[in-house]
Structure 1
């Protein structure tokens, strides 16, 4: 382990060499072979531009915009660009945040604080809404009403039935992260407006690309502030605006709707604190980098990047359709390709705490008669394709999620051949076999047990290249146990 605080300072060249060595273990952020976490436009010179912009404002502090008006000007420009793209009006206002999770937390905070007379506020979301809503509800002590979906999209009737006098916010996705489908925003917005409840559209994931896909002819529903009843919308610039992490925008229809978002406190002997977001001190680096990205790419550039993404999605979707053993699980209508095993057998989420032997049986059953997706993900990774697994949930099967970016335009044809080869190798290997495991419940998860499980499942020395066994256990576990296992494992990793 590198000593971050040596007795004497280390030479710059050595430090940079150490950082390069550390980065060598990471997944590739460029090259169109990583289908999650990063967004690559494959534009020459963009990295140099954003690094320079970031460095120039890295030490600027967003805590006080009157001290650093350059940052205020850039933030207002970014908000204005997002409002222009997402159906805003001259009355539209917004804030720059650190990412989609903060944008959603602030949207919930603004709604909660707008109804101070409601002692037990509630948030209504479809089951496919991003997990950040659950995080917001947990942090802000807002009750969460999760509504089952119909065909992977929010069900307006079910959403309407879930609204109560204590509901302060209703939300939907454009598109949902897991499957890349757009909820019926206009219908739900009309219901929320009729009931006098705020309605937020989570467009963090794809909000910057949807308008361009529509301009290219994609048949997508209205979803933004142009829809009556939509009171706020969020979009991440570090996703399909291709800015470095982490910058997101939260837009409100007008200033009155935004005011409860702020935190202000003057009842102490120090400076009066007023914050639009969760953080007080904010580096200007990410904001300047985002500003440079939008200026450098421009509207025509984003349209071209959307065209490349759309064509890449079509190639990948066709490859899945043509490969025996897997199938498209959701319509590839935005920037996501979501695939599942084509067997009728679906692993059901265990309804109660279960012994590990039962867990192993259930996990193996998920692949009976077909392709084990967890082995397939490992086989794709071995061929240089890094995907994101999604576990079984409420009758939905496990799936593999591909976030498609413009960089995939150059690599998509190669993926088709490798997918067929990986599926063949997966079938040859058969479903993953788990070692004997002790009975597992959330209450039994301890640091010692997690360390033993990690050893037994092959997670030695930080080698995460073969994860099928781990993912099979997680897939078979009920959500509460899954959460406990993941929390314990992350805690195991995050220690000196």
Structure 2
């Protein structure tokens, strides 16, 4: 056993750090040491239990109902509020779309209205469930959804309207009351994607922050998603999908007696579900409690405020929009340096910041997910960021051969063969094998010249190369 665990530790040594606030994407670190221990112990106690049948494992049913009730209480729910525990934010968003679609079987070609800043999980949902997506431009300065434009996009085919609290890309909260009012007026469901903000914005409000309204207290909001593995600081992957009442939830349930085995009953997309993540989340939420989450929100808010103001003070950087939660996106002013190089320089200094490609009104930028673990290291982070910008400025913009850029821009991914894609991946430096090179700026600069469909296909092919034994 020790040999196997030693090998696992060796494998993990090449991963990004999940603690200490050095990885500002993908992971959420409370900085409270015993949280991991409690989660691991609870996970071990319940990992063999199967959520497929709550009558066989009533402990899981009890814990799920408890977590749903706690989320509902935090987000303005009532005694009628119902919910489900899912594997993560994407599954919660998928189920919100599925429930809305199946509640309107009379609509021949159902559609979902969403701002262009809505999470890609909703694009995945429309793809999987055969629902048309109506993407509405946002305000190019604030990056918030425009209520009048959202209202105009609603028609007789609309089964769901989506808004974010906050949006992932820029960390801003959409004007939920106005959008929900438009949806309610049209008799359409309204989903608030609060996967990131749902467990932290209410505590910000309790601390005196002017948090925009987004929960069930807003008339017209019919469902909300909130991830416990984000700012509830639980182990992955646990999310909660809340509905204003149980009738709204019913249409993402699945049942089948049309086979000779047991009657299959699923409240989520999964059938077998380990009790481990659920028990780990339940234990962490009970351990931290109201006072613990309020304190974590307080120190997270302090870190966000200091980092946001520090980024804005660095010559050549501009914070996008006015972020109200824990996410910050910033871009470069002028063409003195390349942000992809800044990301590389930050990695050399021990920080991971997430590059985001340009899309419509949003310029290419770097994204930060700030957690409680970043409190206390803000000065070090900002010092290293300023040094990384200086290094990037000294290096200058990343050159991309104009002929290569023109060639890439002209390609149609629908006409390329697998062999041609492998050739393009080799040119781009994305060959799979050991993964990615240390310096990503040249690759990202080339990918930025590709159309979005081509970039999607290239990265899909690269993913396939990575997942090759």
Normalised-by-shorter TM-score class = over 0.9
TM-superposed CA distance for 1:464, in Å, is 3.6
TM-score if structure 2 supplies the norm length?
0.96
Contact (CA 8 Å) 1:445, 1:488: kept in 2 or not? no
- Is the aligned partner of 1:314 residue 2:287? no
Q: Secondary structure at the match of 1:138?
A: helix
**Equivalences for residues 392-471 of structure 1 within 5 A:** 392-434=358-400, 437=404, 439=408, 440-443=411-414, 445-459=416-430, 461-471=434-444
User: Alignment partner for residue 219 of structure 2, among 228, 237, 254?
Assistant: 228
CA distance in 2, matches of 1:447, 1:413: 47
> Which residue of the partner structure matches residue 19 of structure 2?
30
Q: Is the contact made by 1:370 and 1:427 (CA closer than 8 Å) also made in structure 2?
A: yes
| Equivalent position of 1:134 in the other structure | 123
Segments of 5+ residues of structure 2 without an aligned counterpart are none
Find the aligned partners of 2:96 and 2:428 in 1 and give their Cα distance. Answer: 40
Secondary structure of the structure 1 residue equivalent to 2:255: strand
1:311-344 Cα shifts (integer Å, max 9, x gaps):
111111122111111111121321011110012x
| Aligned partner of 1:378 among 335, 341, 344 | 344
Deviation of the 1:424 alpha carbon: 0.6
Of 260, 282, 297, the match for 1:291: 282
Structure 1 residues 464 and 210, CA, compared in 2 at 3 Å: closer, same or farther? Answer: farther
Task: Identify which of 315, 320, 325 aligns with 1:329.
Answer: 320
**Whole-angstrom CA distance in 2 between matches of 1:206 and 1:120:** 32
TM-score when normalising by structure 1: 0.90
Q: Is 1:181–2:147 an aligned residue pair? A: no
User: Which of 42, 57, 67 is residue 53 of structure 1 equivalent to?
Assistant: 42
Q: CA deviation at 1:396?
A: 2.1
1:302 aligns with 2:254: no
Task: Quote the Cα distance in structure 2 between the aligned partners of 1:265 and 1:457.
Answer: 47
**Mapped partners of 2:15, 2:430: distance in 1:** 17
SS of the residue corresponding to residue 29 of structure 1 reads coil
Check whether the contact 1:92–1:254 (CA below 8 A) recurs between aligned residues. Answer: yes
Q: How well do the aligned residues superpose, as a CA RMSD in angstroms? A: 1.4
Q: Check whether the contact 1:213–1:307 (CA below 8 A) recurs between aligned residues.
A: yes
Contact 2:337 2:395 in 1 (8 A): no
User: d(CA) in 1 for partners of 2:361 and 2:415?
Assistant: 26
| 8 Å Cα contact 1:445-1:484 kept in structure 2 | no
Question: Which residue is 1:277 aligned to?
Answer: 268
Match of 1:402, SS state, is strand
CA contact (8 A) 2:80 2:244 kept: yes
Question: In the TM superposition, what whole-angstrom CA distance separates every residue of 1:369-396 from its partner, at most 9, and x where no partner exists?
Answer: 3221111111111111101111111132
Name the CA distance, whole Å, in 2 between partners of 1:463 and 1:256: 47
Q: Deviations over 1:283-333 (max 9, x none)?
A: 000000000110111111111111111111111112211111111112132
